[in-house]
Amino acid sequence: MEEDGACVFCEIVRRRADGHIVYEDGEVVAFLDARPVVRGHTLVVPRIHRQNVLQMDENETAAVFRCVRRVAAAVIRALHAEGFNLGANTGQVAGQTVAHAHIHIIPRHQGDAFWC
Ligand code: 5GP
Ligand code: ZN
């Protein structure tokens, strides 16, 4: 698994790599996914490097989910989406490709092409 120094999401959090940030506060950052499965696909991450959602403490978990609710509502409003999926792939076997905890927010429209 990646160390802090080699982590692309840590680089985005620290603004050392490009990321389209849509929300940030002292604990969390939300940014658009570079390879969105649908328009508006957004990732919410803790500022601190944690390998996956189980590694976050209770405060970090609360902060991430406060942000997820806020960002999901904003994305849904902006895109007139009818619903959304939340996802946290955890472990390589589950498809986790970036070892920094993150929640996917995937806006959904009737008849869209994304299946999960
Ligand atoms: P996972 O596969 O770990 O559940 O999700 C990782 C997500 O991060 C993928 O949807 C992938 O497109 C996205 N991603 C990977 N590298 C970057 C990057 O450098 N910038 C951004 N914005 N997203 C990335
Ligand atoms: Zn990281």
Instruction: Give the chain's mean pLDDT.
Output: 94
115: in domain: no
What's the rounded mean pLDDT across residues 36-55?
Answer: 97
The residue type found at 100 is H
114 falls within a domain: no
Query: Is 81 contained in some domain?
Result: yes
The identity of residue 48, as a single letter, is: I
Beta-strand runs (E) in the chain: 21-24, 28-32, 42-46, 83-87, 103-108
* 102 occurs within a structural domain: yes
Q: In this structure, is residue 103 part of a structural domain?
A: yes
Closest C-alpha to 11, from 29, 36, 23: 29
Q: Which of 35, 41, 96, 114 to mutate to test the pocket of ligand 1 (most atoms within 8 A of CB)?
A: 35
φ/ψ of 50, rounded to 5, equals: -125, 140
Dist. CA 109 → ligand 2 center (Å): 31
- Cβ atoms of 31 and 103 within 8 Å: the answer is no
Q: Is residue 85 domain-resident? A: yes
Looking up residue 72, the CATH number of its domain turns out to be 3.30.428.10
Overall number of domains in the chain:
1
Q: Answer yes or no: is 99 within a domain.
A: yes
Tell me how far the alpha carbon of residue 97 lies from the centroid of ligand 2, in angstroms: 12
Residue range 57-107, pLDDT digits in tens: 999 999 999 999 999 999 999 999 999 999 999 999 999 999 999 999 999
Residue 43 sits at φ, ψ, to 5 deg, of: -115, 140
Furthest C-alpha separation in the chain: 41
Q: Is the ipTM of this complex over 0.95?
A: yes
* Res 3 pLDDT > 70: no
Tokens 């902006």 correspond to 78
**Is residue 40 domain-resident?**
yes
CA dist., res. 112 & res. 91, Å (int): 27
Residue-range definition of the domain harbouring residue 61: 4-108
